[in-house]
Chains A and B, each alone.
Chain A
Amino acid sequence: MTPLLQVRDVSHFYGARIGCSDVNFDLYPGEVMGIVGESGSGKSTLLNCLAGHLPPDTGEVVFDTRADGPTDTVTMSEPARRMLSRTDWAFVHQHARDGLRMSVSAGGNIGERLMAVGARRYGDIRAQATDWLGRVEIDESRIDDRPSAFSGGMQQRLQIARNLVTGPRLVFMDEPTGGLDVSVQARLLDLLRGLVREMGLSALIVTHDLAVVRLLADRLMVMKDGYVVESGLTDQVLDDPQHAYTQLLVSSVLQV
């Protein structure tokens, strides 16, 4: 099977400081990869490099495109990369307001990607928006409300609906539960797990929260100071951490 994403020697530097360095991995269709580490470990830098938001200083990010098969997205033309970001890719930001149009209604937020790829029947767009509100557990009566009137958890669920409505093949998530109350987090995680299973999504999830990866990720990479220090199957890494830093991470959670 061809990997959906092949990451080769990706590095990014901030001046003399390392953002992330020499990252290599493959992601196969239907697989969910977690990237954990404390803040400043380079996990968000890596995610932004992979999603095309930040140009890597070295390396390749090869995506298995529908049209041309595996293609390096770093060197691909900007039009092609932008096309990917609104069709086959999705990006869930930590702060919902970075990923939503705050002055556009919930329905318009969900409908945007549909209209971008050519949907022209208002009734259909409306129906799909209503359906997706239901799937992310937002009451459909809120369809014409703006996200600014939503709670943090609802905004995050709306952002997820807006991203998944066109059936992307790869979802990038940056701390999707960050900044939410614990009870709200649990509900969101549950929802995400359902959607991932149901849609067979491939995803890269950056988080500092081990509970998130235990629930969602098949595989895990642990980052420290810009380097990947350990990787493997999620259960394996969490239950039998090899690297001293991973051991510290895991034990610090257990003490809670």
Chain B
Amino acid sequence: MTDQAYNFAYLDEQTKRMIRRAILKGLAVPGYQVPFASREMPMPYGWGTGGVQVSAATLTPDDTLKVIDQGADDTTNAVSIRKFFERTAGVATTDETDKASVIQTRHRIPEMPLREDQILVYQVPIPEPLRFLEPRETETRKMHSLEEYGLMHVKLYEDVSQHGQIATSYAYPVRVSGRYVMDPSPIPKFDNPKLEMDAIQLFGAGREQRIYAVPPWTQVVSLDFEDYPFEASKADHACDLCGAGDSYLDEVITDDSGNRMFVCSDTDYCRSRRDDGHTGRLAGDAT
């Protein structure tokens, strides 16, 4: 049911046009952070206001929306954002990756490869990949414009010298189309290889007032050393419910004695595999 007191998808048309201009600019300059006049939304900053504004500017009445948080459709914040759009835009919603035309996500990329008629919208907390090396926006913007990325590799160097490997496990920095270094949002590095995809990827950071994008079929390289190459890693298990060996897993503590089970973080992927008859180690006795 649509709430008639608000414009379609909450934002007024002028604001949506402003956001669309930022999105188009972002697509034209892959990986470049486009400043935009983020609006105050009815959910807190840091809870997906950037993604929500990008989705609001992207959605049409004919779209089908899927919202995931941690890969799951039924996590509280995903439910809350999905309800927001059901209420303010009245669009159809779905849990099925395959049926969605717009997918808003926090922290994951769906396991199933996306198609070119789909748009993936990421919620981004800190868009600046250099932020924790250099806190000043004026400095980091300069570093991007001059391609001064030496410091980024100093961090990787320090990792290797201390730990024998690159010790970044999520929000792993990438270089887009050979130019801008970009934060792919806090997805696990397992998801990094999927950043080269057929769908449009849009990134919205509301509090930090930035939008950026990766167009379809764009080169996205995870930063590394030639002799310490990037590795997409996950728990060395198969899903205990659907048996998948290729999906990112959540580790769930199942009892007081510390027993664990591993289940797909992408709940739709897991469900569709089980529907197809795949089973995992605990498929029978799980309740």
B168 at the interface (CB under 8 A from A): no
CA distance A125 to B157 in the complex (A): 9
When the two chains form the complex, which single residue of B145, B148, B150, B228 contacts A122, counting CB atoms closer than 8 Å? Answer: B228
Interface string of B150-168 (1 = CB under 8 A from A): 1101100110111000000
Closest CB in chain A relative to B139 CB, distance in Å: 11
Closest chain B residue, CB of each to CB of A101: B154
A83 at the interface (CB under 8 A from B): yes
Closest chain A residue, CB of each to CB of B223: A120
Closest chain B residue, CB of each to CB of A146: B158
- Pairwise interchain contact B162-A79, C-beta atoms closer than 8 A: no
Interface string of A74-91 (1 = CB under 8 A from B): 000011001100100000
Closest CB in chain A relative to B253 CB, distance in Å: 36
Chain B neighbourhood of A34, CB < 8 A: none
Closest CB in chain B relative to A123 CB, distance in Å: 5
Chain A neighbourhood of B5, CB < 8 A: none
Chain A positions 100-120 with a Cβ under 8 Å from a chain B Cβ:
101, 104-105, 107-108, 111-113, 115-117, 120
Main secondary structure of the interface of A (DSSP, over half): helix
A121 at the interface (CB under 8 A from B): yes
When the two chains form the complex, which single residue of B154, B161, B228 contacts A115, counting CB atoms closer than 8 Å? Answer: B154
Closest CB in chain B relative to A63 CB, distance in Å: 18
- Pairwise interchain contact B227-A121, C-beta atoms closer than 8 A: yes
- Pairwise interchain contact A120-B161, C-beta atoms closer than 8 A: no
Closest chain A residue, CB of each to CB of B166: A122
With A120-B226, A121-B225 as known contacts, state yes or no: A108 contacts B161, CB within 8 Å. Answer: yes
With A79-B146, A104-B154 as known contacts, state yes or no: A121 contacts B226, CB within 8 Å. Answer: yes
Chain B neighbourhood of A107, CB < 8 A: 157, 161
For the complex, count residues of B whose C-beta is within 8 A of A.
18
For the complex, count residues of A whose C-beta is within 8 A of B.
24
A144 at the interface (CB under 8 A from B): yes
Chain B neighbourhood of A104, CB < 8 A: 154, 158
With A121-B227, A123-B227 as known contacts, state yes or no: A82 contacts B148, CB within 8 Å. Answer: yes
- Pairwise interchain contact B150-A83, C-beta atoms closer than 8 A: no
CA distance A72 to B265 in the complex (A): 58
Main secondary structure of the interface of B (DSSP, over half): helix
Closest CB in chain A relative to B157 CB, distance in Å: 5
- Pairwise interchain contact B148-A115, C-beta atoms closer than 8 A: no
CA distance A121 to B154 in the complex (A): 12
Chain B neighbourhood of A115, CB < 8 A: 150, 153-154, 157
Chain B neighbourhood of A121, CB < 8 A: 225-227
Chain B neighbourhood of A79, CB < 8 A: 145-146
- Pairwise interchain contact B154-A111, C-beta atoms closer than 8 A: yes
- Pairwise interchain contact B157-A111, C-beta atoms closer than 8 A: yes
Chain A neighbourhood of B228, CB < 8 A: 122
- Pairwise interchain contact A112-B146, C-beta atoms closer than 8 A: no
With A83-B146, A112-B150, A113-B150 as known contacts, state yes or no: A122 contacts B225, CB within 8 Å. Answer: yes
When the two chains form the complex, which single residue of B145, B150, B151, B162 contacts A144, counting CB atoms closer than 8 Å? Answer: B162
Closest CB in chain A relative to B210 CB, distance in Å: 22
Give 7 pairs: A residue, B residue, CB < 8 Å, sorted on A: A107-B161, A108-B158, A116-B151, A120-B225, A121-B225, A121-B226, A123-B227
Which residues of B are at the interface with A, using a C-beta cutoff of 8 A?
Answer: 142, 145-146, 148-151, 153-154, 157-158, 160-162, 225-228
Which residues of A are at the interface with B, using a C-beta cutoff of 8 A?
Answer: 78-79, 82-83, 86, 101, 104-105, 107-108, 111-113, 115-117, 120-123, 125-126, 143-144
